[in-house]
Amino acid sequence: MRKRIPVEVRIARRLAGVEPDENGCIDWPGARTAHGYGVAGTHDAFGPTLAYVHRVRFEEVNGPIPDGQVIRHKCDRPCCTAIEHLEIGSQADNARDAVERGRIQTGERSPSARLTDKKVLAICERYDAGERVPDIAREYGVSESLVYLVLQGERWAHITGRGRAA
């Protein structure tokens, strides 16, 4: 049986000679997931599997990643393997990064948005002026539930200043 070369060694060999780009990113030249993350084949207790290259590289320098933590890319490039671009954090940190850096479309930029920023503000003004939620919902062609979520700050809070994002 052929001796398995550790995934860390195979990753290092594959990255040998790959120069950082102008931003200091070292892009993985091998296989990638549909979302752009570099992967390398390895084995675990259950047999063949894929290892995320950025996680392997982070662990080489910093040790095991604690349960519940993820490795975040400061550069926002999933294929980047540059150690200085990787940091540990929670999934909530990662999601917050995505919103703050514009990687997730929110509000009227979202393809599924039924309302615009202007309409959301008008909904709040009309409700505050005493109009009923069913009438407002009918006028804007949305569900009463959505209007309530807007008014409670569960949706569009970044526009209304109500609820969680206030």
Side chain identity at residue 32, one-letter code: R
**pLDDT tier at 165, thresholds 50, 70, 90:** very low
**Topology at the third CATH level for domain 7-100:** Homing Intron 3 (I-Ppo) Encoded Endonuclease; Chain A (3.90.75)
Give pLDDT tens digits for 11-36: 999 999 999 999 999 999 999 999 99
**Structural tokens at position 127:** 């409700």
Which residues share a beta bridge with 70?
89
The answer to whether residue 87 scores a pLDDT higher than 70 is yes
Mean pLDDT of 68-97: 94
DSSP 62-98: H-PPPTTEEEEETT--TTB--GGGEEEEEHHHHHHHH
Higher pLDDT, 154 or 102: 154
pLDDT of residue 104: 73
DSSP state, 2?
P
In the chain, what percentage of residues exceed pLDDT 70? Answer: 96
pLDDT score recorded for residue 164: 56
Domain boundaries, the chain: 7-100, 107-160
